[in-house]
């Protein structure tokens, strides 16, 4: 399946740039999969205006694979989209792909069978491989389904990947997008430079996964030299764990930032209040993602926000040791108070019963 064989409406949504929450995993008190609340989360994201869902990714917990939950979780999200979106609208469905080549290829086949449009490929299991070996791995998976590249931050298991890797990766014709999530400005530029060097900037759409720098990633133009030519590239959307919470206001923020970025490209100005939102959103992320403790509580932190809203019953993870860090709940309370206008509590409260039905 070549990238051009994607449904035209889905490809257009992906390229325009949209909000794609990284879908959490809903468990009950016995740490068993809770399909009812999993469906409720997907319904929330769809009604909030998200243009896609990323399922089976880091926020969904990589351990679903050892628990036999990979296919059921992917199937639940896809079934919810098909049943909930009436009339149908383009929703970009991205499946997380992990492991070494045989596993990643098998997961891509499962995802394709469930109707997913693209696979986001984690390279964490390929640590220590050469760039040639990494590219061979990516090509093997891209032969099954279109790929979204994934620069995962090293703090949670990612591999450092130089610009030359991203140049070669972007040259694979079945690559449709890259999620840039190293939480590092230098490494973010490596991805942009690699895509431009591959002359792939029109074909490969950039998404931010830098939860620590969301607003400015979406606002700023990246100017890169290619020989004597200066190429300007923008990050169009976000595929973010941070956007698994307060999604309604994330959609509004993304629309506002896109409009401001287009105005800037036409010689307009960006108001200071919008620029200041970058630090405010980052402050919220510091609590949700447990930056004070090296991101140890990043998944349960997002669960806690959803629990307080009633979307999740608890913050349980597959690993019983994965829970809130000391002081993290107080930090979440603080940012919920100080940045209450960035929350969507009223929207959730008004629709929760319907989503859980």
- The domains of the chain are located at 3-250
Lowest mean pLDDT across 234-248, 253-267, 309-323: 253-267
Give the burial class of 156: count Cβ atoms within 10 A of its Cβ; 0-12 exposed, 13-18 middle, 19 or more buried. middle
Helix, strand and coil in the chain, % to nearest 5: 50, 15, 35
Q: Which two tokens stand for residue 290?
A: 């447990």
Write down the pLDDT at residue 195: 98
- Contact criterion met (CB below 8 Å) for 176 and 6: yes
pLDDT at position 154 over 50: yes
Domain over 3-250 is classified CATH 3.40.50.920: no
pLDDT at position 24 over 90: yes
Write down the pLDDT at residue 2: 44
Its sign, for the CA torsion 118, 355, 70, 238, is positive
Q: Which two tokens stand for residue 47?
A: 């009604």
The set of residues, in sequence order, having a beta carbon less than 8 Å from that of 102 and lying 6+ positions away, is none
The whole-model pTM stands at 0.96
pLDDT at position 67 over 50: yes
Write down the pLDDT at residue 3: 46
- Contact criterion met (CB below 8 Å) for 195 and 233: yes
For residue 230, the tally of other CB atoms under 10 A from its CB is: 10
């Amino acid at each position: 399946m070549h990238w051009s064989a994607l449904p035209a409406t889905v490809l257009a949504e992906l390229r325009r740039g949209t909000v794609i929450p990284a879908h959490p995993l809903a468990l009950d008190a016995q740490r068993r999969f809770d399909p009812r609340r999993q469906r409720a989360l997907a319904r929330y994201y769809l009604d909030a205006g998200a243009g896609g869902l990323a399922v089976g990714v880091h926020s969904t917990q990589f351990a679903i694979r050892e628990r036999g939950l990979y296919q059921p979780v992917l199937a639940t999200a896809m079934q919810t989209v098909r049943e909930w979106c009436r009339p149908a609208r383009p929703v970009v469905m991205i499946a997380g792909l992990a492991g070494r080549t045989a596993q990643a290829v098998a997961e891509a086949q499962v995802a394709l069978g469930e109707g997913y449009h693209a696979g986001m490929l984690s390279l964490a299991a390929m640590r220590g491989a050469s760039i040639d070996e990494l590219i061979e791995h990516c090509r093997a998976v891209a032969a099954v389904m279109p790929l979204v590249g994934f620069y995962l931050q090293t703090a949670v298991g990612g591999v450092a990947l130089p610009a030359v890797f991203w140049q070669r990766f972007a040259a694979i014709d079945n690559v449709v997008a890259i999620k840039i999530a190293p939480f590092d400005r230098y490494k973010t530029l490596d991805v942009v430079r690699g895509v431009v060097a591959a002359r792939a900037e029109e074909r490969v759409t950039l998404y931010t996964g830098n939860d620590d720098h969301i607003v400015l990633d979406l606002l700023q133009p990246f100017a890169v030299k290619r020989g004597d030519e200066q190429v300007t590239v923008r990050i169009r959307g976000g595929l973010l764990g941070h956007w698994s919470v307060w999604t309604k206001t994330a959609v509004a923020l993304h629309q506002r930032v896109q409009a401001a970025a287009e105005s800037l490209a036409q010689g307009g100005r960006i108001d200071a209040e919008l620029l200041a939102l970058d630090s405010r959103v980052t402050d919220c992320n510091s609590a949700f993602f447990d930056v004070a403790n090296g991101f140890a509580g990043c998944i349960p932190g997002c669960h806690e926000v959803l629990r307080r809203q009633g979307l999740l019953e608890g913050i349980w993870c597959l690993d019983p040791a994965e829970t809130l860090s000391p002081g993290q709940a107080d930090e979440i309370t603080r940012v919920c108070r100080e940045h209450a206008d960035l929350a969507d509590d009223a929207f959730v409260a008004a629709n929760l019963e319907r989503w859980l039905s």
